[in-house]
């Protein structure tokens, strides 16, 4: 059985115990279960300043500062609750003088059957130690805080190498938690066999109280090693005794890697620096031209990357590729095969505007590109090239032998080289531009000098023509100055003749110059003819480099091979032409064109003014001539011409007026016209009409011919035809009357009306006669036909054996009866036509079917087996026509074609539907034809051609055909030649129903 705490207490005598307590250097006291002091030793009174009696009346918490009371009380309550017999606690107390002292108190609690019975405490003043420890702790916390912030691993071990303290950084380094590390042997937990040997060596230094720093390989929890620099030192307690060691661990794994990386980077940097120096050497070698520098630097970059083939290419807008520089000539032919940009790596770099570096194409999206497969690419690098900031093309390097591991320095070098390429190409472009600009400036300077000479010549030219006013002199001045100032060998001025609509040569210098300002064989050129006429017509100047190649050119003077023609405009209208020719082809230039254009512009108004003056003079002469002519015409006119002013006074009276009215001019001039020639009953109406016109501008009898009665000097009234024309001359209203005596005409007209009425009566009588005759003839013809049929029937019945003897007589009688009947029908039909009694019924007609029926009817039973050949042109369609009239037209024409071509090839009927707006019908035979003298009258009634001989006919068929065609708003034409045949052509417009 476990002994109680009281039983374990040493068995000293009470007296000796008291002596020992009183003589003790520490405060010793007892409290009851409430915490009230039951016993205190003498040291307690000395240290606390209270007497024993004062202390025995106090509670232990009264000695504790207020801010610490709760924590201390809770500590001891926990001890009571946990039944823990011995505890140690450090806390502050306040002496009677108010001084704060730090104490370390060991308290033993006494329990009986689990119940607290009392406590005994031994308390030692530790203020100095506390302050020292506090300072030490602060220093340690500061030290450890620095280490924590520096992320160094901190490890404290005892003399047996068991871990006593480890910080968070060390846990992060090793992957162990603090719980997993505390209490374990550090070398067993973290060190490999090799590392333990290193640790043992340095532990020996600790035993000699020496610190050291060393590298060591340490294992993480997951077994992975890491490298650390360990700075170790011995640890001591307050008594100066070594209690263990402390080690600060710095993870130098990354540094180790960085050192290796640094060495690698240094090597790459050295290589990169060498490349830059070599490129600089090449590009600084001015003995090399830009092309050689580009070639050598590109070759060097290829060797630097170990990529043996490559190119610098320009990608154009038309999808073509131009290779500026190519390495490895054996692949040049392969490169000539052009792929779409998106199917090449260089094109992709160009389109995506980025550097593309591929260590190994296998397994990438680029592997299946046709260009990659064609070249067998394994590794490559490409980047777009820019010129003046604009995408120009790509640079490309590749290898089909090995893969590549591109570094950042490689990529940066390639970028720099690409920028260098861009710089070189831009520089070359700028040099070319500068060269072109220099050449352009030189050329511009020459042009300016030439322009100055040109302007001086123009100025002299303008000065010379400035005072010219005459059209002829002005034109000659122009051609003479063009020759002298501009080194031409030929120059001609044409002016437009509006009446003739042509160009007239007005002046010519060169081969056309006859001397004394005269032209050899001057010509006129119609608008549109030749080069000069074409320019005049379209108003566009032309340079003909070689006249032998221009079909419009015609020779006026031979030997010229080139020509320049410039229109002269005035108010947007061509008024003339300046033309020059030269013996050399390609002689004339744009400068010549500009020169002549300027001359044309400068002289246009002068020429036009000269023309206007000339026309004015001509017009004035013509006006005088016309006035003289007008006077002559009026004086000799067959009509009376009488002019009056707005007051009605006579201002003009020609000789014919004297003849018609009997008044002499001197008798009526200045007098009222109404007093001399207007009958009394018309005078008031005449006066009112003039007043109304002068007031309103409206005159119902003006500007037209009408008949009225006039009065002769003798007082005799007679009919006249008069036309009154109002005129405004010099802002004065005048009226001119053209008067004709129609006494005889009126008498003749009355006679004519009587004769026309007689003709109409005769025509009506003729129509009735024709109708009556036709009917009267039909009756005996019908009787004859019936009797012939009766005789034919009787012979057939009684004496059939003699029938053949009479057949030819029966046929002749029947034929003649039919001919006379047909004649009567035609006469009757013609009568209806003339009387206007033929009705036209327009409806849809299938002309092809009609034609076939008529051909079949005319062909059946013919002994010669002849027929009509039918031809169709275009897409057959129904037409709108009168079926009966069309039947008559086709039957007549086709019957005639057979009748007048016996023994000849079959006639041809052609129905032409090609034109949708009309139908064309052609009937052509190959017979006797029609003499030319008969063709004009062929469509007249009862007219027959002179060469028909004994061929029967009435002369009515074609006249009826023409009338029927006219009723369809159509036309009929004839083309014929004697003994070759005739063709009748009918055109009928497309009619609506």
The overall longest dimension of the chain from CA atoms, in Å, is 210
Is the separation of the CB atoms in 897 and 868 below 8 Å?
A: yes
pLDDT over 90 (residue 906): yes
| CA distance readout (Å), 683 to 662, 679, 690, 710, 974 | 19, 6, 11, 11, 61
Is the separation of the CB atoms in 304 and 409 below 8 Å?
A: no
Pair type for strands 309-315 and 321-326:
antiparallel
pLDDT (tens digit, 9 = 90+) per residue, 207-260? 888 888 888 889 999 989 888 888 888 988 867 788 899 888 888 887 777 777
d(CA 491, CA 508): 6
Side-chain-side CA neighbours of 226 within 13 Å: the count stands at 20
Give the rounded distance of the alpha carbon of 495 from its chain centre: 45
Instruction: Tell me the pLDDT of the chain averaged across its residues.
Output: 83
Task: Give me the mean pLDDT over the 698-719 stretch.
Answer: 83
Per the model's pLDDT, the better-predicted residue between 283 and 460 turns out to be 283
pLDDT of residue 827: 58
Unique residue bearing structure tokens 């020719």:
581
Pair type for strands 869-873 and 908-912:
parallel
Output the CA torsion 414→419→420→423 (10° steps): 160
Is the separation of the CB atoms in 421 and 296 below 8 Å?
A: no
| CA distance readout (Å), 44 to 17, 120, 168, 757, 842 | 17, 13, 44, 182, 156
Sheet holding 321-326, edge to edge: 321-326, 309-315, 390-399, 379-387, 356-358
Closest CA to 165 of 247, 255, 260: 247
d(CA 290, CA 312): 15
pLDDT over 90 (residue 599): no
- Number of H helices and E strands in the chain, helices first, is 28, 35
Q: Helices 743-798 & 803-834, crossing angle to 10 degrees? A: 160
22 is written with which tokens?
């009183």
Is the separation of the CB atoms in 886 and 962 below 8 Å?
A: no
Sheet holding 37-40, edge to edge: 37-40, 27-31, 115-125, 100-112, 86-94
Is the separation of the CB atoms in 228 and 216 below 8 Å?
A: yes
d(CA 267, CA 301): 18
Q: Helices 590-636 & 408-465, crossing angle to 10 degrees? A: 40
Tell the burial category of 952 from Cβ atoms under 10 Å away from its Cβ (0-12, 13-18, 19+). Answer: exposed
Unique residue bearing structure tokens 């472009």:
429
- What 3-state class would DSSP assign to 319? coil
d(CA 518, CA 521): 9
Q: For a pLDDT cut of 90, what percent of the chain falls above it?
A: 19
d(CA 616, CA 610): 10
* Cβ-Cβ contacts under 8 Å for 584 (sequence gap 6 or more): 561, 562
Phi-psi region of 781 (alpha: psi -120 to 50; beta: other; left: phi over 0): alpha
pLDDT of residue 1: 40
Q: What is the DSSP letter of 167?
A: -
d(CA 890, CA 76): 149
- What 3-state class would DSSP assign to 359? coil
Residue burial 323-356, b: 16+ Cβ < 10 Å; e: rest: ebbbbeeebeeebeeeeebeebbbbbbbeeeebb
d(CA 437, CA 447): 14
String of DSSP letters for 835-887: TT------EEE-HHHHHHHHHHHHHTT-TT----EEEEES----EEE-HHHHH
Q: For a pLDDT cut of 70, what percent of the chain falls above it?
A: 88
Task: Give me the mean pLDDT over the 7-30 stretch.
Answer: 70
Task: Give me the mean pLDDT over the 522-533 stretch.
Answer: 90
Per the model's pLDDT, the better-predicted residue between 903 and 447 turns out to be 903
Unique residue bearing structure tokens 């060190």:
191
Supply the Cα-derived Rg of the chain in whole angstroms.
Answer: 70
pLDDT over 80 (residue 784): no
928 is written with which tokens?
């006797």
pLDDT (tens digit, 9 = 90+) per residue, 138-161? 766 776 666 566 578 888 999 999
pLDDT over 60 (residue 812): yes
Task: Give me the mean pLDDT over the 126-140 stretch.
Answer: 74
String of DSSP letters for 14-82: HHHHHHHHHH-SSEEEEE-TTSBEEEE-HHHHHHH---HHHHHTSBGGGGS-HHHHHHHHHHHHHHHHH
Per the model's pLDDT, the better-predicted residue between 757 and 39 turns out to be 39
Which ranges of 870-937 does DSSP label H, i.e. alpha helix? 883-899, 932-935
pLDDT over 60 (residue 944): yes
Closest CA to 513 of 526, 524, 522: 522
Per the model's pLDDT, the better-predicted residue between 394 and 705 turns out to be 394
Task: Give me the mean pLDDT over the 309-316 stretch.
Answer: 87
| CA distance readout (Å), 844 to 11, 847, 850, 993 | 159, 9, 12, 8
d(CA 308, CA 298): 11
Closest CA to 415 of 381, 446, 373, 440: 381
Tell the burial category of 597 from Cβ atoms under 10 Å away from its Cβ (0-12, 13-18, 19+). Answer: middle
Is residue 947 very low, low, confident or very high in pLDDT (cuts 50, 70, 90)?
confident
Give the rounded distance of the alpha carbon of 542 from its chain centre: 32
Looking at the whole model, is its pTM more than 0.85? no
d(CA 379, CA 364): 11
pLDDT over 60 (residue 763): no
């Amino acid at each position: 059985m476990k002994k109680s705490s009281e039983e374990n207490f040493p068995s000293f005598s009470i007296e000796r115990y008291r002596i020992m307590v009183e003589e003790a250097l520490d405060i010793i006291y007892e409290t009851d279960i409430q915490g009230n002091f039951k016993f205190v030793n003498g040291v307690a009174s000395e240290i606390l300043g209270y007497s024993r009696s004062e202390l025995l009346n106090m509670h232990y918490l009264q000695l504790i500062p207020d801010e610490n009371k709760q924590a201390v009380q809770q500590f001891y309550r926990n001890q009571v609750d946990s039944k823990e017999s011995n505890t140690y606690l450090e806390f502050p107390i306040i002496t009677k003088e108010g001084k704060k002292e730090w104490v370390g108190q060991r308290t033993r609690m006494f329990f009986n059957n689990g119940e607290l019975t009392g406590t005994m405490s031994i308390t030692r003043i530790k203020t100095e130690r506390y302050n020292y420890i506090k300072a030490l702790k602060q220093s340690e916390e500061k030290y450890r805080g620095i280490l924590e912030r520096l992320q160094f691993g901190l490890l404290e071990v005892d003399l047996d190498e068991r871990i006593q303290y480890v910080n968070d950084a060390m846990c992060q380094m090793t992957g162990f938690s603090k719980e997993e590390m505390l209490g374990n042997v550090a070398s067993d937990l973290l060190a490999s066999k090799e590392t333990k040997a290193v640790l043992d060596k340095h532990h020996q230094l600790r035993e000699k109280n020496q610190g050291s720093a060393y590298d060591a390989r340490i294992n993480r929890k997951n077994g992975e090693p890491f490298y650390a620099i360990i700075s170790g030192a011995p640890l001591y307690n307050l008594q100066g005794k070594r209690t263990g060691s402390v080690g600060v661990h710095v993870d130098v794994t990354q540094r180790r890697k960085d050192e290796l990386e640094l060495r690698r980077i240094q090597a790459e940097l050295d290589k990169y620096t060498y490349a830059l120096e070599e490129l600089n050497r090449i590009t600084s070698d001015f003995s090399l031209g830009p092309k050689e520098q580009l070639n050598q630097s590109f070759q060097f970059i290829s060797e630097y990357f170990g990529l043996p083939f490559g190119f610098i290419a320009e990608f154009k807008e038309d999808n073509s590729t131009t290779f500026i520089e190519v390495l490895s000539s054996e692949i040049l032919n392969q490169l000539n095969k052009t792929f779409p940009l998106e199917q090449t790596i260089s094109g992709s770099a160009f389109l995506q505007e980025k550097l593309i570096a591929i260590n190994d194409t296998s397994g990438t999206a680029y592997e299946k590109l046709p260009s990659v497969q064609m070249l067998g690419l394994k590794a490559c690098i490409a980047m777009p090239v820019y010129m003046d900031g604009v995408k120009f093309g790509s640079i490309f390097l590749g290898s089909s032998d090995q893969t590549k591991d591109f570094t950042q320095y490689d990529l940066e070098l390639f970028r720099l080289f690409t920028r260098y390429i861009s710089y070189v190409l831009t520089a070359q472009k700028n040099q070319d531009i500068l060269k072109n600009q220099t050449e352009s400036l030189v050329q511009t300077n020459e042009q300016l000098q030439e322009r100055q000479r040109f302007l001086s010549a123009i100025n002299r030219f303008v000065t010379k023509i400035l005072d010219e006013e005459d059209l002829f002199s002005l034109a000659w001045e122009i051609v003479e100055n063009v020759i002298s100032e501009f080194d031409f060998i030929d120059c001609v001025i044409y002016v437009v003749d509006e009446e003739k609509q042509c160009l007239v040569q007005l002046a010519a210098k060169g081969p056309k110059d006859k001397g004394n300002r005269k032209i050899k064989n001057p010509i006129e050129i119609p608008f549109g003819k030749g080069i000069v006429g074409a320019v005049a017509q379209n108003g566009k100047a032309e340079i003909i480099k070689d006249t032998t190649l221009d079909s419009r050119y015609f020779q006026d003077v031979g030997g010229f091979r080139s020509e320049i023609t410039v229109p002269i405009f005035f108010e947007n209208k061509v008024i003339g032409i300046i033309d020059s020719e030269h013996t050399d082809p390609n002689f004339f230039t744009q400068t010549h064109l500009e020169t002549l254009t300027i001359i044309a512009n400068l002289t246009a108004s002068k020429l036009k003014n000269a023309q206007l003056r000339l026309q004015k003079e001509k017009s004035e002469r013509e006006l005088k001539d016309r006035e003289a002519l007008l006077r002559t015409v009026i004086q000799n006119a067959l009509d009376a011409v009488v002019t009056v002013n707005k007051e009605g006074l006579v201002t003009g009276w020609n000789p014919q007026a004297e003849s018609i009215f009997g008044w002499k001019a001197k008798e009526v001039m200045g007098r009222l016209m109404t007093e001399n020639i207007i009958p009394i009953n018309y005078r008031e109406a005449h006066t009112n009409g003039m007043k109304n016109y002068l007031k309103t501008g409206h005159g119902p009898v003006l500007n037209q011919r009408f008949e009225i009665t006039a009065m002769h000097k003798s007082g005799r009234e007679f009919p006249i035809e008069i036309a009154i024309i109002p005129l405004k001359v010099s802002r004065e209203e005048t009226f001119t009357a053209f008067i004709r005596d129609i006494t005889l005409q009126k008498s003749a007209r009355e006679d004519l009306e009587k004769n026309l009425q007689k003709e109409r009566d005769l025509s009506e009588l003729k129509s009735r006669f024709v109708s009556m005759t036709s009917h009267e003839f039909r009756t005996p013809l019908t009787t004859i036909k019936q009797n012939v049929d009766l005789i034919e029937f009787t012979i057939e019945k009684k004496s059939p054996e003699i029938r053949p003897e009479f057949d030819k007589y029966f046929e002749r009688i029947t034929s003649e009866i039919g001919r006379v009947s047909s004649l009567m029908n035609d006469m009757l039909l013609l009568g209806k036509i003339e009387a206007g009694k033929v009705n036209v019924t327009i409806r849809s007609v299938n002309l092809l079917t009609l034609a076939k029926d008529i051909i079949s009817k005319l062909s059946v039973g013919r002994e010669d087996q002849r027929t009509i050949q039918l031809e169709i042109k275009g897409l057959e369609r129904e037409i709108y026509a009168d079926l009966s009239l069309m039947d008559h037209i086709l039957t007549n024409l086709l019957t005639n074609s057979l009748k007048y071509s016996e023994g000849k090839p079959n006639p041809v009927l052609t129905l032409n539907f090609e034109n949708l707006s009309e139908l064309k019908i052609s009937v052509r035979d190959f017979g006797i034809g029609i003499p030319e003298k008969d063709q004009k009258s062929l469509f007249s009634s009862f007219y027959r051609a002179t060469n028909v001989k004994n061929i029967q006919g009435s002369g009515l068929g074609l006249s009826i055909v023409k009338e029927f065609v006219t009723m369809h708003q159509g036309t009929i034409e004839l083309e014929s030649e004697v003994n070759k045949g005739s063709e009748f052509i009918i055109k009928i417009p497309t009619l609506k129903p």
